[in-house]
């Protein structure tokens, strides 16, 4: 058996002829990294590592789940986030034997959606967004989780579920946010 070799993946913003060129995956990687646990000592590695399977990368802290469809594919596995800012993201693949939960089954298909309300995340009018969410949600929602969503993510309702499902414009970003226990 070959020894596991840690691999570094770097995503940068480049400057070409005075024009800033952003790697399209940087925003999606940052989006998923925001969902990770802030507790770096958590023994459950799935809460402080991103996970890649196929073209998808996901991050979770157990109370929310962010998913992004990568434009540039990297090998399946767990990744530590070494650097994360708007211009630079560095991931390090790590050998972790934990099994990642079956996250795809949590996201609804189109037939499960009921778009009864038209709520879109709006960072400029964030108070209005939270007011709308509080009026229609069956449970309290962590405000910081909503603030971590991308602008213009659309809320969709799933019949008889205890979480909120958000989808970005197009299908590259999706998020599930659980309610706060009372």
Overall pTM > 0.75: yes
The string of pLDDT tens digits covering residues 85-97 is 888 889 999 888 7
Q: Kindly indicate the confidence band of residue 111, based on its pLDDT and cuts at 50, 70 and 90.
A: low
Distance separating alpha carbons of residues 120 and 61, to the nearest angstrom? 23
Lowest-confidence segment of 69-73, 108-112, 122-126 by average pLDDT:
108-112
1-11 pLDDT, tens per residue? Answer: 555 567 788 88
**46 vs 69: CA distance, rounded Å:** 18
R_g (Cα) of the chain, nearest Å: 17
Report the side by side order of strands in the sheet with 64-69.
19-22, 8-16, 88-94, 77-85, 50-53, 56-60, 64-69, 173-178, 163-167, 154-158, 113-114
């Amino acid at each position: 058996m070959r020894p596991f070799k840690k691999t570094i993946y770097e995503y940068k913003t480049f400057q070409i002829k005075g024009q800033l060129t952003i790697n399209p995956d940087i925003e999606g990687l940052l989006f998923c990294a925001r969902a990770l646990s802030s507790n770096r000592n958590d023994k459950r590695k799935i809460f402080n590592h991103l996970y890649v399977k196929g073209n998808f990368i996901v991050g979770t802290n157990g109370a929310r789940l962010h998913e992004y469809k990568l434009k540039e594919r990297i090998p399946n596995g767990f990744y530590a986030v070494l650097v994360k800012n708007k211009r630079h993201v560095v991931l390090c693949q790590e050998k972790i034997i934990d099994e990642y939960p079956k996250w795809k089954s949590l996201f609804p298909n189109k037939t499960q959606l009921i778009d009864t309300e038209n709520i879109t995340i709006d960072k400029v009018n964030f108070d209005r967004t939270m007011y709308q969410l509080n009026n229609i949600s069956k449970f309290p929602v962590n405000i910081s989780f909503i603030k971590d969503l991308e602008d213009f993510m659309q809320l969709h309702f799933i019949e008889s579920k205890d979480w909120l499902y958000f989808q970005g414009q197009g299908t590259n970003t999706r998020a599930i946010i659980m309610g706060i226990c009372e």
